[in-house]
Structure 1
Amino acid sequence: GFDTAVAVATEALDRLHTTAESHHRIMCLEVMGRYVGWIALKAGLAGGADAILIPEIPYDINKVAEKIKERRKAGKEFSIVVVAEGAKPLSGEMVVRTVVEDSPDPIRLGGIAEQVSNELEKLVGLESRAVVLGHLQRGGSPTAYDRIISTMYGKAAVDLAMEGKFGNMVTLDGNEISSVPLEEVIGKLKKVDPEGDLVKTAKALGISFGD
């Protein structure tokens, strides 16, 4: 589930802090999310990232580099950057790893962390490394929250079926389990609000979004 994916990414950031600091490096962690930046945003905030790059806020690599240079002036010879796989620069597009023909989901994103890492190494003058978590975010032991919420979803889905209410999706509205007709949600993305509280909190902590 989502909470588990965020927990895995956050743990990876905790581990990367150690090697980044000891070797004076920039570490760019690429996380999943497709066209939205929820995992990157929440993991970056929880894991103490210095910059978070998400699809909803196109970035200027020079502004990210400036953030890292400011840290160096303050005596911090390392930085952590979280990059959502769908992140894109102001003047560019998302990085597509491959296109699979005759697939319902032909666009396979991947490679943006490597691109960001290479650019930052040139601009900042610090050695940089890219790390891609990939499918590690989809496995492992689920968090307690994901175990509980999935159980609640399952119970609600059975209730809907027993009531003959087909064509609905179980949802979480605040702390309440509910449902909505599938036609109201199919094809729609729940995007990060660039003016939302999570982004504002991250910026207040000094985290750069490259904007």
Structure 2
Amino acid sequence: MTVLVVTGTGTEIGKTVTTAAVAAVALAAGRSVAVLKPAQTGVAPGEAGDVAEVTRLAGPVTGLELARYPEPLAPATAARRAGLAPVLPSEIAEAAEKLAAAHDLVLVEGAGGLLVRFDDAGATLADAARLLGAPVLVVAPAGLGTLNSAALTGEALRTRGLTQEGVVVGSLPAEPGLAERCNLTDLPTVAEAPLLGAVPEGAGVLAPDVFRARAASWLAPRLGGTRRG
């Protein structure tokens, strides 16, 4: 794949760290990588955002933000409250295509879940994925509630004719409980897509060299990793 869209079943579930892991594995394989963040919310001008975090953890990627809004809200709401222009799916697709022309892999990291609105007309990351014809990787939490949200996200992708690349658990506890262990088995069934990895809880605070050395073990071969089962 040239462009991979990364979304979540919600917020604060490890989407950025998962994006960094995919980028790190691709870089280790000698591929050039770009990371596109269409709308960065909750970060003030001059502060490090998600693209900077991916770069810190993964290594030398080309990073691009299309818009930044200071309040930690859905992009459409944050743009409206800040009096700034929203990001349109066509702008996301155009930026990703330009990056794809010069890179082996472009990772488009959304904000929150698949259907979070980018503008008041209801445009979402799914619309950008459709314009790109790109597969979508879904990052999900490990614990209770994840099966329902993963099923809903998978259904939303299928009804829009989009391809779900698979599911990655964004933050797996070092000692998973019963729910977490069962969810690793059940997620592929309810999402109707393969489980393509499990990033350990706390991976984002690892030293960058350790993160890069371990990233392949968290991801399945389909994402360039070595994880089995």
Question: Do they superpose with TM above 0.5?
Answer: no
Q: TM-score, normalised by structure 1?
A: 0.35
Q: Which has the higher contact order (CA 8 A, sep 6+)?
A: 1
